[in-house]
Every structure is written in structure tokens, then in C-alpha cells.
Structure 1
């Protein structure tokens, strides 16, 4: 156990928190350094705007969770050689390209507190550099030389694009049901988690059973991860910590807490949601009203339970693997994901 683990400071009477990303980060730290070198090298171009804009979003890119999953899965499966380094970079390029395109589609101006690339350089440059990063990802796949890898990552890229279009079709639409929402997050988020994990078994030439287990693990982990992100936008705990909430509400974004609250609401409540989400006619106090309706109908708690269910499935997916440092790091990453809710 690590002395600075955040579960040491619990004073609210709840059980200690067991999850942490630190074991995963520590496990792959040296490998991730190599991956970052590949990322920096492959985003270079004689066209100066490309590395400038790509560097802006890569530098603001967060924890590198997806490439870390590739590296940890490769260790879990005993992969040898260096193929997984370039493929982890490929996964990050796909993710970064989708972020660039997402920010344009959503007309976003901030990401993790920093100006988005489209806010700085405009939509056209962001879309084109996103295309460049997708192309770099495919160059890395081809250089790997494996048709299995090429199929895996190209399928994931196509699924992500389908998810983006599906989300566009359901944007600001209160008629969206739970199934449609889950299909969107599985395509937009979980598909890349799944591919990132399965690569580890592919490069290690592991049997189909292990490839399928890691594919399912990534899918379930990715669904839990996105559900938690969507729930946190309506979290009283986040508000108590001084963090901004309600961005999804202000944009009229359709997420599971809203879907459940709308479906369970009265006609008057449905009219409220349509005004706020479909018409984007929002007034002072509407966010507080939205939170109250979600609490009244159990929408937040039921959404949390969906996330816990996916997390439990992810834990079970790892059951076929022997107990080692990589498996423990992945299990703690699952716990960390869900415990962000508390």
C-alpha cells in the first residue's frame, strides 16, 4: 500500500477507497516514456501548423489512459519485443484525432481548462490536423505489418465515427432512450478502450480466449468510464469540491441521468426538459431544478449502478489471467474509475 493513497483521508464514514491509477502508472512509466517519444516524433511535419496544433492538444491530453491500457495488457499477456510501443502511440493518435473533431462538432472552447485547438486556430485547421493524426495512426498500423492489428484498429476507428454520427442524430433529443445512449457511448468511447486492450493479447500471440477476454474487459471498462464522466457532470460531490458541474446540461447533451429523469417524469417535468435541452431556453435555477428531478426519480443512483455493473463485468473479464502486477494494476484502475463517484 502506498502511504499517500487518497483512501487514508476518508472522514465521511464510508468504506476506504481501494482504487488508484498509481499502480498502473508506475507499472508502465518507462514504457510510456518510449510511447511519448514516438508520439512526438510522428506528429512532426514540414507544415509548421501541424506539429504546433497537434502539440497543443497532445500536451493537454490528460493521463494517457488508453495507451497505458495497451501497455498493461501487453505486460499481462507477456508480450516481448517493441511492437506494442508504436501501437500504443497509434491508439493515442486515434483518440487525439477524435478529440479535435469532437471539439469542432460541439463548438467547444475549453478542454481541461485550456483553450481548445479550434478556439485558437479555427475549425478548418482542427479538422485537417485531426485527419493528419488519423493518417499517422494508419501509417503506424501498416508499419506493424499485422493484418489482425490493422483490422482491429481500423474497425475501432470506423465504430468511433459511427458513434459520432449517432450522437449527432440524438443531440438535444429528449426522445433518446437508454439503449440509444448506451450504443453511443459504446461506440464513441468503449470501442477504443476495447481495441487498446485487445492489442496486448494480439502482439503477444495469445489464444482467442485471452483476446476475447481483453476485448470484453476494455468494452466494459470503457462503458463504466464514460458513464462515470457523464454522472459527474450532475454530481453534488463535485460541486462540494468546488468543481464546475452542469456543462452537459447547458449544452443540452443527452446522457443517462437525463434520459432516466425524462422517462420517469410527469408531463410538466417533460416540458421542463424539452425547454432546457431541446430548445436550450435555460433560466436561472434550471440546473438546480434538473438536479432535484434527477434525485426525485433516482436517475443519478440508477446511473451509478449501471456504471458499477459494467465495472464488475470488467473485473470478471480479467478472471482468466494469472494474478500478477499487471492484473492488480488494471483491477485498481477499475476501482479508481468507479470511486470517482464518491
Structure 2
């Protein structure tokens, strides 16, 4: 139901999104059957396509060209897809969005090759954009995402991290790509510099809020809603914002230790989730997300009214209230 609600916000851009979806499918074709199958498996698993829609909406604030916007949208969504494949290998995850991950359906080697292939296709997609800043921004974004992957590994099961560490991590994990989606979309349409800057900041703040809500939902949602076990972040050694608030709680520490050592029984997992939900940590994390969304909406205030501004506002509202 929530996904239907989100997709309804894309109504005015349905034709453009349909074109991008076809381009995504075309981009992951390969002469290698196994790489093609693995890439299509990931693509067909779906997703919210927030990066492509941000590119399209941001491009509406300049001289819009679907062809140029699509090249950027496809590139950014492919980068996101590739990072998911690599994440699942790192976390040894078997399920994503209710389906087998690439590494579970095939193996780690196929997953890594598929991820690298998709990354390469991302560069091919944007290659014909004749704007040097676009390529520079994309290169810097990819570099920071890769740094983020390494930092996430370094911070696994590390209990001495603080709020600043967490925010820097989710910046690279999620916010930068959404920020770049808005920035590159606006640049592709030759929007003025002030508009580009505001949209970039909107994407960043929205991305921070999006990831915080994602981390909340990992604890508050059911296994069926998530398509994977609730609490997977902690089971994989990742301390997210709600856990950050209670990691020093003496009653919670035994749960965290069992989660990290992989000896947690199902009854323990359920008890752990109940403890976090009742601790007040969820509400504290939600408050931080809300503050980021307020900042995101502030960036839109001075932009011209129209369907894109309205949709961006609605998406920010949706992110704050989403249940999946």
C-alpha cells in the first residue's frame, strides 16, 4: 500500500519513468548469460526509483531534456544497484526485498562480477553527456560511496562510535547519491547555480532522513514487511541510530553481544527488538529524521512553483511517514 502511495507521486512523470525503466533494462544486457541474468534479477526486484525521479524532477527546473536526464538517472540508479550487490556480499545477506540476493541465488563471485559490470554500465550511460562538471561530480560521488563501504566494514561491531560517526557513514551510504541525483539533474538542464545548489541540499537532507527512517524500519517492521529478518542491521554488526542511543544500556548490552557473535536464538531476537522499540530510541531517531526533512523543505521554499516542486515536497513528507 505504501509503495502504491509513493508511485502515485510519480504520476506526472510516468512516461519519463517508463522510458528510464526500459533504458535500465537495456543497460544491464550482457553477452555473458550469467551476468545478464544476475543483473536482471536485481533490476526486477524493483525499488522505489527515488534517484531517477529526483533527476527528472530537478531537471524540470531548467531546460528539460528527457534524453539527457535519462542518461544521468540510469547511471545513478545503476550505481545504487551495484552498491546493493556488494553490500549483500559484505553482509552475507540471503534476502533483499523478499527475494534471494544475487550472492544467494548464484554465489559471491558472480555477485562481485555482476556488481562491477553494473558499475561499468553506469559510466557508459553517462559517457555521452558533454558537461565536464557532471563527470567530475559523478566520479567524486562514486569515490565517496566506495570509501563509505570500507568505513562501514571498519565500524562493524565497534561500540565506541558516536553520532558524528553514524551521520558521516549514512552520508556516504545514501545521502550523497540522492544529493547528486538532484544536482546532476539540474545541471543537465542548465538550471541556474542557485537552483542547483538548493536542489543539491534538498537531496542531501532528504537522503539523510531517508536512511535514518530505513534504520528505524529495520527494527519496527516485521520480517514479512522487510523481506528479511527484522534487526538485520544489528545482526550484521551495524550500529544504526536507534541502537546508538541505547548501546551503553547495561540491559541491552547482552542482546548486542549475542547479535554480534551470531548465537542469537529467535526468542532473543524478538526480545531484543521489543526492548529497542520500548526504550524511546525510536522516537529520538525519528526526531533527527524530522529535523533533516524540515531542512529539506526549507530549500524548496524559494524555488518556482510547479509540479516538480509539489512532488518533491510530497516525497519529503512521504519519507517521514513511510512504513516500508
Task: Name which of 102, 105, 110 aligns with 2:87.
Answer: 102
- Structure 2 CA distance for partners of 1:271 and 1:92, relative to 1, 3 Å: closer
Alignment match, 1:251: 236
- TM-score using structure 2 length: 0.91
Residue of structure 2 equivalent to 1:9: none
Q: Structure 1 regions of 5+ residues with no counterpart?
A: 7-18
> Computing the radius of gyration over CA atoms, which structure comes out larger, 1 or 2?
1
Matches within 5 A, 1:161-310: 161-235=146-220, 238-239=221-222, 245-263=230-248, 265=249, 268-269=250-251, 271-295=253-277, 297-310=279-292
Q: Are positions 1:111 and 2:93 aligned together?
A: no
Q: 1:202 to 1:224 in 2, by over 3 A?
A: same
Post-superposition Cα deviations, 1:107-159, rounded to whole Å, max 9, x if no partner, equal 11111111111111211111111111111111222211221111111111111
C-alpha offsets along residues 278-328 of structure 1, whole Å, 9 cap, x if unaligned?
A: 333324543344345435642111001011111111111111211111111
Deviations 1:84-112 (A, max 9, x none): 11111111111111111111111111111
Distance 2:274 2:26 in 1: 50
Deviations 1:53-76 (A, max 9, x none): 111100103221211111111123
Secondary structure of residue in 2 paired with 1:222: helix
Distance 1:150 1:79 in 2: 19
SS of equivalent to 1:320 = coil
Distance 2:206 2:154 in 1: 25
Aligned CA distance change for structure 1 residues 121 and 251 (closer, same or farther; 3 Å) = same
CA distance 1:304–1:49, shift in 2 (3 Å): same
Q: Aligned equivalents of 1:331 and 1:78: distance in 2?
A: 21
Count, aligned residues: 321
* In 2: Cα distance, 1:284 partner to 1:180 partner: 30
* Aligned counterpart, 1:336: 318
Mapping of residues 57-96 of structure 1, within 5 Å:
57-80=42-65, 82-96=67-81
Matched-pair contact (CA < 8 Å) for 1:24–1:333: yes
Please say if 1:122 is aligned against 2:117: no
Equivalents in 2 of 1:108, 1:141: separation in Å? 30
Match of 1:25 in 2: 10
Cα distance per residue 1:147-182 (max 9 Å; x no partner): 111111111111111111111111122222111111
- What 5-or-longer segments of structure 2 have no aligned partner? none
RMSD (CA atoms): 2.3
- Say if 1:239 and 1:132 are closer, same or farther in 2 by CA, change over 3 A: closer
Deviation at 1:209, TM superposition (A): 1.3
Which of 292, 296, 314 is the matching residue for 1:314?
Answer: 296
Checking the alignment, whether the CA contact within 8 Å between 2:72 and 2:185 is kept in structure 1 is: no
Deviating more after overlay: 282-291 vs 185-194: 282-291
Contact 1:193 1:218 in 2 (8 A): yes
Distance in 1 (alpha carbons) for counterparts of 2:78 and 2:293: 26
Tell me the TM-score normalised to structure 1 length.
0.87
**Higher deviation after alignment, 288-297 or 157-166:** 288-297
Kept after mapping to 2: 8 A contact 1:230/1:256: yes
Contact 1:97 1:134 in 2 (8 A): yes
